[in-house]
Amino acid sequence: MASNNKNQHDPAIYFDILHPDLIIVDFTVPNAVNDNVELYCKTGVPFVMGTTSGDRDLLYKTVEEGKLYAVISPQMGKQVVAFLTAMDIMSKQFPRAFSGHTLEVLESHQSTKLHTSGTAKAISCFQKLGVSFDIDESFI
Catalytic site positions: 109, 113
DSSP string computed for the chain: -----GGGG-HHHHHHHH-TT--EEE---GGGHHHHHHHHHHHT--EEE----S-HHHHHHHHHHHT--EEE-S---HHHHHHHHHHHHHHHHSTTTTTT-B--------TT--S--HHHHHTTHHHHTT-B--GGGG--
End-to-end CA distance of the chain: give it in Å, rounded: 57
CA-CA-CA-CA torsion for 87, 49, 78, 68, nearest 10 degrees?
90
